[in-house]
A and B are shown apart, each in its own frame.
Chain A
């Protein structure tokens, strides 16, 4: 099942700060839903274990995360390929940072997810709303925390 979400929250921080945060895997993990562990393979590759629920279904995902197409401090691509029991997920997110005013930026994100296997087949009714909520709240939280820290 393919899911596409996007958003463009404004962040009370300059692009350079947002950029720095995006590359800080500990920081990103701290705002991501249900992250249990993050391990940096190198500065572009990470192994993440994340657990969250879709309705009554609780899942633990093992994710391989990669940062690519980096154009500092403007844009990058964040890809994650993961698996959970009987299931798989691929998320590809394009990120673009634009200055909007002094010390403010807009973070445009565009996420395409492909969900496979059991999760796709049990989730028809539940998945879309939950995934949307998880994704949107992640980026909202990210924006808020970046602003908080740059105060």
Chain B
């Protein structure tokens, strides 16, 4: 039988999604449902003198109105759950509704619960808030300077943490190096634009004392725990259901005040309460991504050997520390400073800084795109400075294939790799030499062609729980699966992760069906309900297949081992004498003596004739905890033509060669690469959240925040190399974030390469025509 592993079957999720038959959180309708609306600060930074809700309480349809003062003793603060050690982390309280101060435009001030959504929203206008405005501070570097407006009483200079990573002796390397360069690099703030905004619907049953909360969640078990902390209800009385989730990109990992507020209201009122964001609220309240100001230095030899990297990074955290925020610019960023290269000396300092803006947390790639960007940008600048081809510089510094597992200067150990292989393949696809010749010719004609090459590796498949504990992550990072075989031989796998667009309902079914020799239709994958699924840690960090998929595999193997025991018993043979063939256990040498998986499923479930000491039933649970992270890698290449007159960038070709190990479903892998690359090109070319100096978000709608559209994006040519990971039974690595990690520097380097003859060395993202044109004017020594 042909294996399903490796076959690009269609995603089973799609029919319901594209025909509008999926059930999202906002689709949940319950008898007696009430609707919540939240009054949000219009000031970025202000003292709250008075919040007068008297009129709102009187309004038609309004059931209850709560302020921060009302909830102070009833609902606990929103916790931060990644307490990175050894960095003097300061996490000031983040009340679910502001009590005495607001710290960003969108900070919650009051909760209205009403009989209809319209009544709840209308009542917001009746609440009178007396603010005492304070100065705002938006830029994380400026916020960390003396004299900047202070957000929290016990956080001097707004510095939440000072985290350092060192390996080798960077200062010595810089002192001795013949070539040194530095660059200030900005990673603008981005708005994770999941198609479905966030929502929460809470239903407390006073009879049973149980709270059920539907949440747009990438990790329902984490949300159950966070809800328990905030509502003070014990965890075993909370059920979190994440129904269909329409994308997250990290923004649906954190715990938010919103789900605690509806849960509290349901507890207080004894009726179900629902809240759903619109896009404007989403852009103001749901976490943002990136927001770094980076000072980067690189040193090396004249012939292209990198000897040191130093960074000083100001990472904006927004008004409060979101759930995973401290870990993103540190563990997931600074530890990756070596990239795919052997850089012997590294010293990085990252300041986490509170600013009067929406909190920042994980956004697709989370820390790694920022690390890859700064490194790849510096390598191109270095290559230009020493007059060497940027591809040759990369080749010279890549970790050789025979050195894996390889421990980089930052202390982490890469599992496996074939960096040269991916580079060679990508260069061959683009025909690098030929392009360079075309470019030289075009330059003579006054046309500006450019090429950007990124060799990257990233850390994902999060991760070993012991390491999670050591780096302060407030949970485990194993994952889990129950594989349950029904009497009729069909199967359900209940998983701890929560796919929300990545396609694991399909790929995990492929894993299980292969194990049992079943058609893929006979396997269902169930996720997202804490009542049904075992403890897991969610879908993010490109971890679901490597970790939870491995749990599925192990559980299926356990089921199969039990089936084999039963088969041996029924066939009166030794287990050692059984072969697994075409979905049956067959006695060696007696092809007519066999038991199919279906027969064994029935016999196990009816238990009429079990082997002595073997329990009835056919199911198994597995908790898989990997021994290391996985490190996917690859090479992306982009060629562009820049219209020097207008600054417009046209992408000529985009090539992505990624190695995520063996591919369970190549079509899904390709889809992940496409989505990631396009999201990254959006970051590189046009996306940027803009605050004015008063902390007002000026890009509050899709008319001003430029999420890429299909018509703006190039065709993407994908290819792969296959290097299995030794750290999980599937050999797989992650592929959910490679696109956003690799594509951003690829595009920016291509544009800077195109404009090299004009003297342009660096342009800050996003490379809008206006910025490219301005950079050209500046390089020409012209006007602004």
Contacts and interface: CB of A to CB of B under 8 A. Distances in A.
Question: CB–CB under 8 A between A and B in the complex?
Answer: yes
Contacts of A114: 694
Contacts of B43: 88, 116
A84 B703 CA distance: 21
A60 B124 CA distance: 14
B739 to A, nearest CB: 29
B696 A122 contact: no
Interface string A116-129: 11101110110000
Interface in A18-56: none
Interface in A55-87: 83-87
B281 to A, nearest CB: 8
Contacts of B280: 86, 118, 121-122
A116 B125 contact: no
A1 B125 CA distance: 21
A1 B703 contact: no
Nearest to B692: A1
Contacts of B693: 2
Contact of A122 (B121, B124, B694, B700): B700
Given A83-B42, A86-B40, A116-B105, A121 B692 contact: no
B401 interface: no
Nearest to A120: B696
A116 B696 contact: yes
Residue from A83, A114, A120 having most chain B Cβ neighbours under 10 A: A120
Contacts of B42: 83, 86-88, 116-118
B692 A85 contact: no
A117 B701 contact: no
Contacts of A116: 42-43, 105, 694, 696
A121 B284 contact: yes
A88 B127 CA distance: 13
Contacts, number: 62
A120 B695 CA distance: 10
B699 interface: yes
B283 interface: yes
A37 to B, nearest CB: 16
Given A1-B692, A86-B42, A115-B696, A121 B701 contact: yes
Interface in B660-693: 690, 692-693
Nearest to B690: A124
A2 B692 CA distance: 8
The number of chain B residues touching the other chain, given as a range, is 20 to 34
A115 B284 CA distance: 15
Which size bracket describes the interface of A in this complex?
10 to 19
B704 A1 contact: no
A117 B704 contact: no
Contacts of B696: 1, 115-117, 120-121
A105 B69 CA distance: 53
A122 to B, nearest CB: 5
Nearest to A81: B131
Contacts of A83: 42, 125
Contacts of B283: 121
Nearest to A89: B42
B698 interface: yes
B475 to A, nearest CB: 34
A99 to B, nearest CB: 38
A125 B700 CA distance: 11
Contact of A2 (B121, B125, B694): B694
A86 B699 CA distance: 15
B701 A122 contact: yes
Given A85-B125, A88-B42, A124 B698 contact: yes
Contacts of A88: 42-43
Given A2-B694, A122-B280, A85 B703 contact: no
Contacts of A85: 121, 124-125
Given A2-B692, A88-B42, A88-B43, A120 B697 contact: yes
Given A85-B125, A86-B40, A116-B43, 19 more contacts: A1-B694, A2-B693, A83-B125, A86-B42, A88-B43, A116-B42, A117-B40, A117-B696, A120-B692, A120-B696, A120-B700, A121-B697, A121-B700, A122-B700, A122-B703, A124-B690, A124-B704, A125-B703, A125-B704
Top 6 nearest A-B pairs (CB, nearest first) are A121-B700, A117-B42, A116-B42, A88-B42, A120-B696, A124-B698
Interface of A: 1-2, 83-88, 114-118, 120-122, 124-125
27 contacts: A1-B694, A1-B696, A1-B698, A2-B693, A86-B280, A88-B42, A88-B43, A114-B694, A115-B696, A116-B42, A116-B43, A116-B105, A117-B40, A117-B42, A117-B105, A117-B696, A120-B692, A121-B105, A121-B280, A121-B697, A121-B698, A121-B701, A122-B280, A122-B701, A124-B698, A124-B700, A125-B704
Interface of B: 40-43, 105, 121, 124-125, 280, 283-284, 690, 692-694, 696-701, 703-704
